[in-house]
Structure 1
Amino acid sequence: MKLILRTIATVFAVVMVPALTHAETKSPNVLIVMADDCTYNDLPMYGGQNAKTPNLDRLAKEGMTFDRAFLAEAICQPCRAELYSGLYPMRNGCNWNHSASRGDIESMPQHISRAGYRVGLAGKVHVSPDSAFPFEKVDGCDKNCVRNPTREMELDSIREFMARDEDQPFCLVVALVEPHVPWVMGDASAYPPRKLKLPPNIGDTPETRSAFGRYLAEITYMDDQFGQIVRELNAVGKSEDTLVLFTSEQGSQFPGNKWTNYNTGVHTGLIVKWPGVVKPGTRTDALVQYADVLPTLMDVVGAKSQTDTFDGSTFASVLRGESDAHREYAYGTHNNVPEGPSYPIRSITDGRYHYIRNLKNENLYIEKHLMGIKGRGELNNKYWQTWVFQSFEQPEILRLIQRYQLRPSEELYDLTNDPYEMTNLIDDASLAGVREELGQELDRWMESQGDPGAAQDTTESLRAAKRGEHRFGVGTDR
């Protein structure tokens, strides 16, 4: 009987292996879809209680959802430069918004094209210089994240790029501009303000509820765009041999999300579907970072690279179900110039605990778009003034203002039990060992990156970077 069972098992294994082997040995196409300023846990698959995202829900059922995915800097340009280069902000050179990476780095277009791929980008670009990010430009999506209203998506160019050559695989990034402010797209009436469940890090005023509803409408609008793109992939017959990766980018433009190192800023949503390889409907606690995505794609497409080419490393073994772990730590950085006065921050997480160091906490934290008004204020968050007005009558709002503007030199949070980071555990004696371990590793990482800390968060450093004369950081010898 045992011999019969062994024989059946052997035959079953022989039958099953070729299908998996074919899926992995055939170079898959790669489709990356990015949202813009979407807080990860506002999405239903991460516990969001408001937003309706049927297309992303379907992707999660068909793929793998990463519960511990992070980016290094919760600002549009730095996080994109990290994603496309596989290098942290110090090493690729983009440490601030509206700045520039080093001219001598290489990114996704150069690396992936060496494996015979066409590499294109549709939508928002927001990386520079062009020589470091030479994507083929694909039309169809609005490139301007602050246009009011957003231009309607046209899929002809995206379809043409995906279907152009049956013998040459493609890698396409579609960088959408929702739900970036201004929150004007989608059907806000689907989110009545009084029925919304606000996260604990957002003050409860009528104006805030109205803004949050408009933001949620843009999430649903973005979800519909994602669905349209996937339907085009199906229409050209490429769905079964394409790895689809969705990421929510950084947190939204609410206090404590974007422009901060808090969990709702640097934690990103990440879902991967890879037919025949990724087991549908799975979740993983593997700790990954944006710098790991390009090395992973290099592994997936069979491209060769030196071990020191990237700061990140491949997590393809997690996708294949061969491992449930990846990196030990994910790192974070923030330079506030030019979004406001200098307020440098560095951080680190092991997936459970999150240690944040505010390098100039004696300063008052200010973010000009969120707290100020310019012109008609279409891109500014006018609800902030209602927080200030209500701070006397609503002590909980005063605490949120203080949390945002007056920060201690060190913070420590338990992300498992406190994902919104409302309780600072830095003085908890039982976590002294955690604080020491994370602090020492953060010091090591900063030194390895050539990060001077506060000296980087200056107008002088930003202007030097724009001239291609980066003041600090290790080089990228190739």
Structure 2
Amino acid sequence: MKLKYRVLFTLLVPVFSNAVEKPNIVVLLADDASWSSFGCMPDHLTAHTPNIDKLASEGMRFDRFFCAAAMCAPTRHELYTSLHPATSGMYDNGCRPAGKYPNMVDWLEELGYNVGLTGKLHFNSPTKFEKIEGFPERANDREYTWSYDGLEAFMRRSMHEKKPFCAMVCSIHSHSPWTCGDTSQFPLDEIKVPSRLPDTPATRTVLAAQAAEVTELDRQVGETLALIDQLGLKDETIFVFLSEQGTEMPTGKYSLYNYGTRAVALFRWPGKIKAGTSTEAVAMYADVVPSLLELVGGSVPEQIDGFSFKDVLLSEGEGQRRYATPTYFGHYQRSIIDGRFKLIHRERPISNYSLPLITGPEDDRLHARAWKEWNVLAETDSDIRKQLELIKQPPEWELYEIGTDPFEVNNLAPNPEYAAVLKRMQAALQDEMTRLGDSYDAFVPKNQRPHLKHRKRRIK
């Protein structure tokens, strides 16, 4: 090889290797979209999500994936920092982090990535995300138009700079007030109602409106995937879809039930992640970034609560996480999931629970109308009365076999046949709370800064 060509070859190799070794990352994050709203998920309810279903067929689906607190800001803080609320103090949308923590921007920039975000941030923490114009930012924004011009420009600039990119595409769908989408696609008599909720006309109206907005989310996923294809980046891009937490209805958002804390997590990387696969490995939002870091050649950061599931994605091993541990910001509740069973404990009784965002008798939003209708019908309908009583005043202990009872109807805690399981899960919950430094009194009032010490990364 002549010298001038050898020099040219030497100069080009690092650029080529960088493109191969560090794939791009695109994460599309939904907003208040319960796992049961997607056709690719087992035991789904009303759903029309062809693009997301196709995505699931092209990658890996997680069936035991949970958030630590079923609210927007805590979930996003958990995702970006890989910290549990017991560490960060982010138990509630109104909380401020206990300190300044590194996040995915810091870690990916060290690996040479351009890191940007379009849409809803809701992070409550300093961040260096590059702002990408195009997607609406307000959670309750009734304006549902969006543009891909900013996202395309960000991707093209990164390609020109020969740098890998990570783009967070953060939708506002399907957050209330559910004003987007075509509800005529969802006739009320065809709506499937979660088993724990009263099946009434107002309930079906809410769920139809929410399902219609999920179709808008699905359209965004399809258009994002089309942009990646258009730029010829499909094979060198890790695409992740996350549904955030559950629907803004009782037993959903703000709760510890599956309808609130269980989430959709889909990962596609052609040629690396086997298409059409699923896993029951237990995982949480805190695990996403460490897994991505390892996939792109980085290492798992110290002083985080997340674990990498890279080996699960590459079909090379089992997950590192033994338990998922969702919390609840009020009423002193905690839960633990081992993949088969889920335990919920309330250290103190709940008094007349109602959905936190229902403001009073004059509140005319859809979910408030349903709540009012339930209370009226409960006066004469014994079945609805029993359902409402369980929502308002649930028992101290609840135990569910989530594989066969995904909507958590059959409480096994009082069943003597499950006494050993109950005892084992109770001990595991206490052990995990001790490991995390969590306590039932760790509820942080709105707008008050918690004082929780940062700890070393904990080993399972």
Task: Determine whether 1:335 maps to 2:335.
Answer: no
1:205 alignment partner in structure 2: 200
1-structure distance, mates of 2:240, 2:305 = 20
Residues 76-475 of structure 1 aligned to structure 2 (within 5 Å) = 76-130=72-126, 133-147=127-141, 149-166=142-159, 167-306=162-301, 308-336=302-330, 343-369=331-357, 371-373=358-360, 377-378=364-365, 381-453=368-440, 455-459=441-445, 462-465=446-449, 470-475=450-455
2-structure distance, mates of 1:426, 1:95 = 26
2-structure distance, mates of 1:74, 1:85 = 16
2-structure distance, mates of 1:382, 1:128 = 31
1:55 alignment partner in structure 2: 51
Counterparts in 2 of 1:154 and 1:423: CA distance versus 1, 3 Å = same
The SS at the match of 1:278 is coil
2-structure distance, mates of 1:97, 1:379 = 21
The SS at the match of 2:202 is helix
The SS at the match of 1:45 is coil
The runs of at least 4 consecutive aligned structure 1 residues that moved more than 6 Å come to none
1-structure distance, mates of 2:78, 2:50 = 29
Report deviation, 1:86: 0.8
Q: Is the 8 A contact 1:318 1:326 kept in 2?
A: no
The SS at the match of 2:166 is strand
Task: Determine whether 1:75 maps to 2:56.
Answer: no
2-structure distance, mates of 1:268, 1:251 = 7
Greater alpha carbon shift after TM alignment, 84-93 vs 96-105 = 96-105
Gaps of at least 5 residues in structure 1 are 1-21, 337-342
2-structure distance, mates of 1:416, 1:185 = 33
Greater alpha carbon shift after TM alignment, 101-110 vs 324-333 = 324-333
Report deviation, 1:231: 1.0
The SS at the match of 2:322 is coil
Give the letter for the 1:154 counterpart: S
Report deviation, 1:323: 2.0
1-structure distance, mates of 2:315, 2:439 = 39
Give the letter for the 2:220 counterpart: Q
1-structure distance, mates of 2:267, 2:444 = 37
2-structure distance, mates of 1:363, 1:472 = 28
TM-score (norm 2): 0.91
Report deviation, 1:204: 1.4
1:8 alignment partner in structure 2: none
Deviation sequence 1:416-437 (CA, Å, 0-9, x none)? 1111111111122222222222
2-structure distance, mates of 1:24, 1:203 = 53
Greater alpha carbon shift after TM alignment, 413-422 vs 372-381 = 372-381
Counterparts in 2 of 1:375 and 1:230: CA distance versus 1, 3 Å = farther
Provide the aligned length of Structure 1 versus Structure 2.
438
TM-score (norm 1): 0.87
Counterparts in 2 of 1:458 and 1:88: CA distance versus 1, 3 Å = closer
The SS at the match of 1:330 is coil
Report deviation, 1:305: 4.1
Q: Is the 8 A contact 2:59 2:276 kept in 1?
A: yes
2-structure distance, mates of 1:239, 1:165 = 15
Give the letter for the 1:84 counterpart: Y
Give the letter for the 1:456 counterpart: A
Give the letter for the 1:363 counterpart: S
2-structure distance, mates of 1:403, 1:42 = 23
Q: Is the 8 A contact 1:35 1:178 kept in 2?
A: yes
Counterparts in 2 of 1:25 and 1:427: CA distance versus 1, 3 Å = farther
Report deviation, 1:98: 2.4
Give the letter for the 1:210 counterpart: T
The SS at the match of 2:388 is helix
1-structure distance, mates of 2:82, 2:56 = 24
Give the letter for the 1:389 counterpart: V
2-structure distance, mates of 1:259, 1:426 = 22
The SS at the match of 1:78 is helix
Give the letter for the 1:463 counterpart: N
Give the letter for the 2:185 counterpart: A
2-structure distance, mates of 1:276, 1:312 = 26
Aligned-pair identity (%): 32
Counterparts in 2 of 1:158 and 1:335: CA distance versus 1, 3 Å = same
Give the letter for the 1:464 counterpart: Q
Report deviation, 1:228: 1.0
Q: Is the 8 A contact 2:336 2:344 kept in 1?
A: yes
1-structure distance, mates of 2:325, 2:45 = 28
Counterparts in 2 of 1:144 and 1:444: CA distance versus 1, 3 Å = same
2-structure distance, mates of 1:297, 1:325 = 14
1-structure distance, mates of 2:305, 2:19 = 25
Report deviation, 1:392: 3.1
Deviation sequence 1:273-309 (CA, Å, 0-9, x none)? 0111011111111111111111101101212345x43
1-structure distance, mates of 2:206, 2:79 = 29
2-structure distance, mates of 1:377, 1:198 = 21
Report deviation, 1:324: 4.3
